Amino acid sequence: MSEKPTQQRAITGVVTSNKMNKTIVVLLQKKAAHPLYGKYVYHDTKFYAHDEAGVCKIGDLVRIVHTRPISKTKCWKVDKVIRAAEETN
């Protein structure tokens, strides 16, 4: 029997911090309507992702995939940089 490739969980978000060694913080912002009032409310979720090469910068749009636990809070790794942040000098 041939095994089907397992589909990994993937998330696209913006890098908010790269101050840690080989770790970035990715912010996922969801917009949902409030059940009673109907007003749109933003929900933020932070994910810690492993960046082995250290190529991600603050403001980059990245795709991260779920992987085995690397540390207590880190179980994601960077798959690819979708859009690099614009340089401002």
pLDDT of residue 7: 73
pLDDT of residue 8: 80
Q: Which of 43, 42, 59 is nearest to 24 (CA)?
A: 59
pLDDT of residue 62: 97
Q: Which fold has domain 10-83?
A: OB fold (Dihydrolipoamide Acetyltransferase, E2P) (2.40.50)
CB neighbours of residue 23 within 10 Å:
19
> For the chain, which ranges sit under pLDDT 50?
none
Q: How many CA atoms lie within 13 A of 2 on its CB side?
A: 2
